[in-house]
Each structure stands twice: as structure tokens, then as C-alpha cells.
Chains A and B, each alone.
Chain A
Amino acid sequence: MKQPYTPRPNSNRKFVGGYRPRIDAWEKARGKVEYADDITSKTRFPDMLYAKVLRSPHAHARIKNIDVSRAEQLPGVVAVMTYKDPEFTSFRPTNAGWTDGVDTVSYDKKMWADFNDRRVLGDYACWVTDEVGAVVAAESEETADEAIRLINVQWEVLPFVLDPIDAMKPGAPLIHPDMTQTNVLPPEKMGGEDVFLDKGDVDADFAKAEVVVDGTSIHHNATQASLDNWCCLVDWTDEKLTLYSNSYEADQSRMHISEMLGLPQHKVTVISSYVGGQFGRGDTGEQPFFLFTAVLSKKTGHPVKFKHTRRESFHDSRQPAIYYGKVGAKKDGTITSMYFKSIGNTGAYADHSIFALKFAPLEISEVSFAHIPNVKLESYAVYTNKLPACMMRGVGNSQFNLIFGHMVDLLAEKLDMDPIDLCIKNFGHEWETLPNKSLVEVLNQGAEKIGWREKRNKPGQGPIYDKTKRRGVGFSLHPAWHAEWQEVRRGHIPISITLNPDGTVILNAPTVETGTGSNTCNVLGCSESLSFLGVTPEMIHWNHVVNTDTSLKDCVQTDSSVSYLQSEVIATAVEEIKREIFERAEPVLKTKAKDMDIVDGRIFVKKNPDQGLTIKELLFQGDLVPIVVTRSRLANAEKTGVPYFANFAEVEVDTDTGKIDVLNLVVINDCGTVMFASGAEAQQVGGQVMGMGEALTEEIIYDELTGVPLNFNFIDYKIPTMADMPEIDPILLEIWKGAGEYGACGIGEGTLTCTPRAIMNAIYNAIGIRINDIPIKPEKILRALGKV
């Protein structure tokens, strides 16, 4: 029997932090919730057409000539358009920087303004399957597919490069020669210079340090693999345009459609229903298919649907990164210098690579390396002709943790020190003295749960099981994100509470429901705030469909922080709700507001508690107009640091076959405040599937001779199933506390950040040989053991 977590003493929460089903659990279990593909089915839009786009068969090519006449003649084809049509030539070039911000931005203010490398429909392809050249709209999907096959393209096939190191060499094929004369993305204002942090003097310190270690680690192109393939339907058959999509942001979609198509915002409606998994998917340039689908709808006078096949939904991936790390320390374990350098394979388009390679490590250094006098960070994002890469469940953090946890393990071994003690001694943020309480508790509880002291042997020196198997344990540690102070750039967060005359509540706290559990967190937060009215979670309706015509601006599902951000705003609305209630009660109770109180939904006179009435009695006496309070505020900027989280792994490696069995995973998150325990544990347990997949089995494989990706399907891209997963122990802690009513922090993305490194350190502990490029497949084990 597993144990529930222990809440912070005296927190006295009624609803927040509870174990309970999600608010949408019954609808989801019954298959009743509708995703984009469901709300855009043929039964709903009988006159809709299907769009398809031409895809490049070459890793690098330019269209010399295109002939669409045979496609146009195919019965059932309604429109064929090419990059030469004025609708497409008039589009401004764009990039991912204004579709994946947490805030809504205009074209002029979008991130990565220096990397406008995307075209809505161009003549130039930078990777195999790049969307290029022509689009069709037809009466059926099969006809649209057939029409694409009938398009005759004369390609100018260009030399290509897949490896970032090769792409950096002089004379390498240039991926975007119109923009840059090197494949390395130039320094720009958001990410900074190539050396983007240089504190103290690492070189001088390495020269005099008592102990120095260095090493590398390699992270790859894992993909988000949401089962809900990209899908949209655009109805632009009159002057108003309506987009149905499974993008995770509605307001920003409206902004970019409005600006790209020159439509006023009130003529653009974006409707986002449930999304079947997000995981960072979405940095696909400016989601060009929204725009070419819109153009096709306008051209044909029909609603047009565009949906990726599963193969086409291999469209985004995690930013691969080759990291080099070097650390200097004193013999007592005091770290005096840290240096990290990365080379990232950014793929065909820049997208948010700088976020992963510079932004994230800079944030990590701010909240973890503050007590280390010499720190240098350096990075190069490199264009290649591979799948574009960037955002995936924790931008840049898994990659950085892979080298960070490696350095910790290496240094601890060289110092003959427990790596747990090494972490406690060195890491924390600048607003505190060490040791960091959160870090200490996270590591101690993880160690106890996995059995660290009993199971940790000298590397490769543990007992042998079944003649050929060795076991080991390892861990990795990381700072959490995001606390509220890190969310200020998000801009105002609006919410609205409607208190119905019967005392029930409509909560307008829009965010696209992607499965994270933030919907339940915020309903619990709302009932907690309104518990003085006797409101329970069951009395709150939360609208799951974001419609930009009627919803407030959606709080974008990034940074794992929607789970508490809206609740913090809701908490600040309570006084205003009380004020309105007292205002309405004044003539009824004939008492001044200051002399009234409300407990459990009953308003009464303080001096004479018998004189009072329920909220329903009050509102039913009046005009039956609900009380509506709308609040909007920025995140609290008070710098509070962040808590920590860690993963511990126990593995068994068969030295004969190279097979790795993960026996146990322990996931420990200090949440500040647990908003919704069952949801938080689901994130902890669930994240291990992705983390273990990235560590051991998931990998996109290319034909190196052609650049053709070979496994864009769920048979050959190996996602762990129920049969593959080990026992997982989720541990929730409430040690650190941020600013605000709850002072929570995000955990969803972080739950898998440490998993690959924890498994890698456990493998080293088992067999005594380090393998530092993931996924660690059996052949890599056998190669390392000298058996192949």
C-alpha cells in the first residue's frame, strides 16, 4: 500500500492538494470529450474539403519548375495552388518566435526576429518531408493525396548535411544561404553571445583547482508523439474567419492569423477544444498550415480541413545537444568552477533552439550555481537538413541535466564522495545560504526510498545476479521551473468568476486543456478561495473550450505553471466578491458591510450572528443577476528562488545481451504547494514513460546517405508500453514556498528531466563503464563491454 504525501504543517486546505479524480475524468473515460479531429468531422461539416501539401522527397532542394495540370484535372480536386500564387508570395517570412511564446506577441515583437527562416509556402526545402511548393483542396483525403502525387516537380537537388559538427566546417552546404553565410546561428539579443555567461575566470580556476573532471554527453531528437495529430479546420467562406485547431494557444493563433492575413481581430475566431497531448509540440514555424488552409478556404468557398497523418506529425522534436562539461573543485568537494559548452543540431529551421541551448541553461545557472564563483556557458546552434528541433517537455533542461548529472557523478567519484553530499554542499540560488533545504530533503527522501546506501556499490563491483546481470543505482537532480516570479514575461493573467444566484459558479479561467491537470488545479483553487461561500469543486463549471470571441485571453500551456497561476489570481478576487455580496446584503440586512461576515455561504451580522441569510436567499431576493468579478494581474515578481526535484533509478544490466531492465524509478518533486495530488502524481509517474523512452528506446533514425528519416511511425519509433515500465514511486514534498497564496511551482515538464541521467548513472554504477549518448541500446552496452 502506497502512502499519500504529507502536507506542510498547518496548511489547512479544504480542497487544494487533495487526492481526487480530474474534473474531466468521467467525460474522458466515457469517450465523450471532443478533440479537434472530432469537432471537425465530416458529419459536422458535410461540405468541407481536405487539404494536403506537397512534401520534399529530398533533404535539401529547390523547385526549378512545377506542373500541377494533371492534379487539377483529377475529378474531386477543387483547387491547386502553388508558391507562385500572389496569396503566398505576399506573405511575410516568419519564424517560430510568435507562436510559442507564453505571451501574445505581434509580428514586430516576436522572438528570434533575426531568424525569419520560415515561409508559408516556398520553393525551397530544407529537410525530407518539408512542406513546400503546392497545396491542394479536394473532396476526399484520398483524392487530395492522389492530386499531390500527380504534381510534377523538377527539383534542383542540393548537397545536404545532417551532422552539426560537419555543418560547422568551412565549405559545408549552407542551409539558409539567403540569410546567413554560416550554418551557426549568429548571436542575437535574446540568447546573447556564443559565450552567454562568463562569471569569474574558469580557465584560471581550472589551472589551480585541486580536482578537475571533464566529459561529454549527447542528447537526441526524441519526439513529442502526441496521439492527437496536428489538425485544423478553417472556415473563411465569408468575411469572418473561424479556425478550429488543436494548438495549445488560442489568443496567439488569432494574433498571427490576423496579422498574416490582414484581418482585424474581431473577424478572426479561434476555437480550441481538448487537445490529446501537447508536450511542447507547437514550434512549427508559424504553423503555416493554418495559413495555407485559410487561403484554400477563401479560394474554394468551403471549410477546409488539414490533418497530419501520424508520419507527418513527426514534425517537431527535442533539441539534440552535444554537451562538453568541465568542473574544478577543492578536495573537500567545494566546486569552484563550472564550464559547459553545447553544440545543438537545430535542424532545418531555427525555431526556439536558442531557448533550449542558451535561455534554459542561463536560468538553471541563476537558480543553482549562484554560489560557484566561476561559471562559463557557451553554445552554438547549428542548422542541418534534419527535422527541426526544440521544444519538448522541458525546453533544454533534459539536455543540460544529462551533462550536469554526469559532472556530479564524475566529480564525486574522483573525490571519493557521495554525490548526494556533493550536491548539498554546492548548489542553490543566490537569495539564500547553503545548504538549500529543498535540495537536501529531495535527495534524502529519494535516497531512502530507492535504498541508496544499501544498493550503491563501487562501480561494477556489486553482486552478480543470474550469472550475467549486474545492478546499480543512480540519481540526478535539477532545479524546478517555473515559480511565479519566472512568469512575469507572460503578461497579465485574466480570470473571471460568475457567482450564480443559486450559489454555483462559472469559472472563466481559459487555457487549452492538454491533459496537464491544470483545469482541476484551478477548479480546486477556485473552490478553496470561495469556500467561505460553501462552494465545493462540484459546484464549479469550468469551460473547457477556448473561443476567442467569448473567452478571456487563454493562459498558455507552457512552463507547467498554469497549474497555479490562475489560482493565484483567483485568490486575489475574493475581496471583491465579498464586497459585492455585502453591497447587495446591506439593504436586506440593514447593516453596513463592515459589520457583516460570511461563513460557509451564510451572510450574517457580526454582532448578531442569528441575523443572516444564505447567498442563495440573498440573490434570489434581488434581480437574480449573477455577481461577476473579473481580475487580471501580472505574476508576482518577488524573487523566491525555486525548489528542487530529483529522480533515482535502479537498473539491472545483462552483460551477455546488453539488455537494460529498469527495476525501479523514484521521482521526488518539491512542489511548494501541491495543488492537486492525484494530478501531480500522474505527471510524476507519466513523465517516466517519456524519460525512459528517451533514455533507452526512442530515437529517430535517418538514412545517412539520403537524409530520409526511416522510422516516422509508432512501430519503429519505440515508445514504452505498460509492459515495459517498472515500479515507479512518486514522492510529493512541500518544503520551499514561493510568493503568493499558494507559492506553488510547476512540476509537469520536470518530472522527466532527470530520468535519462539517473538511468545512465545507475548503468555506470552497475557495470563500471560510462555510456554517455542516449538512447542506450543493448548494442552500445555490448560495445562498451568490448563484446561486439
Chain B
Amino acid sequence: MPKSSKGTKKNVATPSPDIKIKINGTWHNFELERDITPTMTLSYLLREKLGYTGLKVSCDEGGCGACTVIMDGKSVLSCMILAVETNGHEILTIEGLAKDDPIVEAFAEQCEPGYGTALQCGICTPGFVMSTRALLDENPVPTMAEVKEALSGHICRCGCYAGIAQAVTHASEKIAKKGEAS
């Protein structure tokens, strides 16, 4: 069931919205048909209607991972979810991450000799970052096998898997350090 949104319930003159989705911490209200059609995917809603172009749509059929966002703490493929299905749920896109998010930092900084960078053309990167975020939220110190398992639904055609794996390890270390500091 949709969670309540206090702001809209006060306004008794307008009918309650058909669909409410919490995106990057803010509830958004949508009217069925006008804003969201029954066949509209979550990726389409986020990119074309709301301008969250950080997620990318490449295969549009769940085969590449580029459109990954986090729904209620789990990484999901936004091209494989209908927008209407997310009614009442919480969505986090890459735009919702803090500027100094340790995962973003680790992906950007990776230049440890022998592994290459964690990104080249960068089109798959937001998907990898979001899956890593979901992985580390659940399992802060994953083994390499767990990292590979968690990220093997993503394609990086530039082939930066080794750099990405290093970035995940470094992100895990950064998170641990932040935890110690706080």
C-alpha cells in the first residue's frame, strides 16, 4: 500500500494521486494515464519524464545492468519494472548519492597499478555504482567471489572489471574507515 504523504493529504480539493513514489528522498505524485501509462517502465519515467538521465537504457530488456537503481534497498533493473509497480516504494538513483559517496569516490579514484581504471567510456558506471551500493549496504566486506556474483549482471564493454573490483574493495575500506571515525 502507498505510504502517506502528508503534504498532499491536506489538500482536500484535489483527488489523492493515483501513484506515489519516493525518489531520492522526496515523494512524487503521479496521475495514472496522464503521467504514467500502464506499460511505462520505471526507467522511462525516471529518464524521460523526470530527467534522471544518470541511469542509462541500453538493452531495455534486463541484459546489461546499465539502468540499475535501488528500490527499497535492493538493486533492480529499472527497464524491467513497470512504473506502476513502484507505487509506494522508495527509489534511489545515482543522482541521490552524496557528492562524497565513498563508492563514487572509489570508482573515480581507482588507478592502482595493474588493474586499470574502474571506468572508461562511463556509460555502464552508474549501474555498477548502484549495484555496488546495494551490495555494500547488505554486505560491507564482501569476498571477491561475492563481488563478482553481485556485479556479474552488468556489462562493461570497455572491460574495466578488474578496476571495478578494486574500486569495490577500496569503497568497502572507505566505508569501514568512515564507520570508525563516526
Chain A residues within CB distance 8 Å of chain B: 2-5, 19-22, 24-35, 37-38, 41-43, 224-229, 274-279, 309-310, 514-517, 677-679, 681-690, 713-715, 719, 721-725, 728-730
Most chain A CB within 10 A, of B51, B108, B109, B149, is at B108
Mark contacts of B65-84 with chain A using CB atoms, 8 A cut-off: 1 yes-contact digit, 0 otherwise: 01000000000000000000
Cβ–Cβ < 8 Å partners of A681 in chain B: 113-117
**In the bound complex, how far is the Cα of B61 from the Cα of A20, in angstroms?**
35
Please give the distance in Å from B161's CB to the nearest CB on chain A: 4
Contact across chains for A685 and B115 when beta carbons are under 8 A apart: yes
Cβ–Cβ < 8 Å partners of A37 in chain B: 53, 56-57
Contact across chains for A515 and B121 when beta carbons are under 8 A apart: yes
Please give the distance in Å from B173's CB to the nearest CB on chain A: 15
Assuming the A-B contacts A225-B157, A309-B60, A689-B161, are A679 and B117 also in contact, with contact meaning beta carbons closer than 8 angstroms in the complex? yes
Chain B residues within CB distance 8 Å of chain A: 47-51, 53-64, 66, 93-95, 97, 99, 104-105, 107-126, 129, 147-149, 151-165
**In the bound complex, how far is the Cα of B103 from the Cα of A168, in angstroms?**
56
Contact across chains for B157 and A690 when beta carbons are under 8 A apart: yes
**In the bound complex, how far is the Cα of B165 from the Cα of A113, in angstroms?**
48
Cβ–Cβ < 8 Å partners of A684 in chain B: 116
**In the bound complex, how far is the Cα of B162 from the Cα of A684, in angstroms?**
11
In this complex, what residue of A is CB-closest to B105? A29
25 contacts between A and B (CB under 8 A): A4-B114, A21-B117, A22-B117, A24-B122, A29-B104, A31-B94, A31-B95, A31-B126, A35-B56, A38-B53, A42-B49, A228-B58, A279-B157, A310-B64, A515-B158, A678-B113, A682-B158, A682-B160, A685-B160, A689-B157, A689-B161, A690-B159, A715-B62, A724-B152, A725-B162
Contact across chains for A32 and B54 when beta carbons are under 8 A apart: yes
**In the bound complex, how far is the Cα of B64 from the Cα of A309, in angstroms?**
13
In this complex, what residue of B is CB-closest to A44? B51
Given contacts A22-B119, A514-B121, 15 further A-B contacts (CB under 8 A): A19-B112, A25-B107, A25-B109, A29-B107, A29-B125, A31-B125, A42-B48, A43-B48, A227-B59, A227-B157, A276-B123, A682-B160, A713-B61, A722-B147, A725-B161
In this complex, what residue of A is CB-closest to B116? A682
Cβ–Cβ < 8 Å partners of B62 in chain A: 715
Contact across chains for B111 and A21 when beta carbons are under 8 A apart: yes
Contact across chains for A277 and B158 when beta carbons are under 8 A apart: yes
In this complex, what residue of A is CB-closest to B150? A722
Cβ–Cβ < 8 Å partners of A725 in chain B: 159, 161-162
**In the bound complex, how far is the Cα of B156 from the Cα of A690, in angstroms?**
10
Contact across chains for B121 and A275 when beta carbons are under 8 A apart: yes
Please give the distance in Å from A283's CB to the nearest CB on chain B: 18
Cβ–Cβ < 8 Å partners of B58 in chain A: 227-229, 276, 310, 714
Contact across chains for B63 and A713 when beta carbons are under 8 A apart: yes
**In the bound complex, how far is the Cα of B158 from the Cα of A687, in angstroms?**
7
**In the bound complex, how far is the Cα of B95 from the Cα of A30, in angstroms?**
7
**In the bound complex, how far is the Cα of B160 from the Cα of A687, in angstroms?**
9
**In the bound complex, how far is the Cα of B104 from the Cα of A178, in angstroms?**
56
Assuming the A-B contacts A42-B48, A515-B158, A682-B160, are A714 and B122 also in contact, with contact meaning beta carbons closer than 8 angstroms in the complex? no
Cβ–Cβ < 8 Å partners of B55 in chain A: 31
Contact across chains for A277 and B61 when beta carbons are under 8 A apart: no
**In the bound complex, how far is the Cα of B58 from the Cα of A35, in angstroms?**
12
Assuming the A-B contacts A30-B99, A34-B53, A686-B160, are A721 and B117 also in contact, with contact meaning beta carbons closer than 8 angstroms in the complex? no
Query: Per a CB cutoff under 8 Å, which of A28, A686, A722 touches B151?
Result: A722
Contact across chains for A721 and B120 when beta carbons are under 8 A apart: no
Contact across chains for A728 and B162 when beta carbons are under 8 A apart: yes
Cβ–Cβ < 8 Å partners of A24 in chain B: 122
**In the bound complex, how far is the Cα of B116 from the Cα of A729, in angstroms?**
10
Contact across chains for B156 and A689 when beta carbons are under 8 A apart: yes
Query: Per a CB cutoff under 8 Å, which of A29, A31, A688 touches B159?
Result: A688
Query: Per a CB cutoff under 8 Å, which of B56, B105, B117, B118 touches A276?
Result: B56
Cβ–Cβ < 8 Å partners of A277 in chain B: 120-121, 123, 157-158
**In the bound complex, how far is the Cα of B58 from the Cα of A277, in angstroms?**
12
Please give the distance in Å from B152's CB to the nearest CB on chain A: 4
**In the bound complex, how far is the Cα of B54 from the Cα of A33, in angstroms?**
8
Instruction: List the 8 closest A-B pairs by CB distance, nearest first.
Output: A2-B114, A515-B121, A276-B123, A31-B54, A686-B159, A682-B116, A689-B159, A28-B122
Cβ–Cβ < 8 Å partners of B57 in chain A: 37
Assuming the A-B contacts A227-B56, A725-B162, are A516 and B120 also in contact, with contact meaning beta carbons closer than 8 angstroms in the complex? yes
Most chain A CB within 10 A, of B53, B55, B66, B122, is at B122
Cβ–Cβ < 8 Å partners of B116 in chain A: 678-679, 681-686, 730
Query: Per a CB cutoff under 8 Å, which of A28, A38, A723 touches B119?
Result: A28
Contact across chains for A722 and B158 when beta carbons are under 8 A apart: no
Contact across chains for B121 and A228 when beta carbons are under 8 A apart: yes
Contact across chains for B159 and A721 when beta carbons are under 8 A apart: no
**In the bound complex, how far is the Cα of B163 from the Cα of A596, in angstroms?**
47
Cβ–Cβ < 8 Å partners of A516 in chain B: 120
Please give the distance in Å from B69's CB to the nearest CB on chain A: 11
Cβ–Cβ < 8 Å partners of A514 in chain B: 121
**In the bound complex, how far is the Cα of B111 from the Cα of A20, in angstroms?**
5
In this complex, what residue of A is CB-closest to B151? A722
Contact across chains for B114 and A713 when beta carbons are under 8 A apart: no
Cβ–Cβ < 8 Å partners of B157 in chain A: 224-227, 277, 279, 689-690, 719
Please give the distance in Å from A694's CB to the nearest CB on chain B: 12
Cβ–Cβ < 8 Å partners of A274 in chain B: 121-122
Cβ–Cβ < 8 Å partners of B152 in chain A: 721-724
Query: Per a CB cutoff under 8 Å, which of B59, B123, B155 touches A721?
Result: B155
Contact across chains for A19 and B61 when beta carbons are under 8 A apart: no
In this complex, what residue of B is CB-closest to A33? B122
Cβ–Cβ < 8 Å partners of B48 in chain A: 41-43
Query: Per a CB cutoff under 8 Å, which of B53, B117, B153, B164 touches A25?
Result: B117
In this complex, what residue of A is CB-closest to B114? A2
Cβ–Cβ < 8 Å partners of A677 in chain B: 113
**In the bound complex, how far is the Cα of B109 from the Cα of A20, in angstroms?**
8
Please give the distance in Å from A520's CB to the nearest CB on chain B: 9
Cβ–Cβ < 8 Å partners of B105 in chain A: 29
**In the bound complex, how far is the Cα of B157 from the Cα of A683, in angstroms?**
11
Cβ–Cβ < 8 Å partners of B163 in chain A: 682, 685
In this complex, what residue of A is CB-closest to B53? A38
Please give the distance in Å from A552's CB to the nearest CB on chain B: 23
Cβ–Cβ < 8 Å partners of B147 in chain A: 722
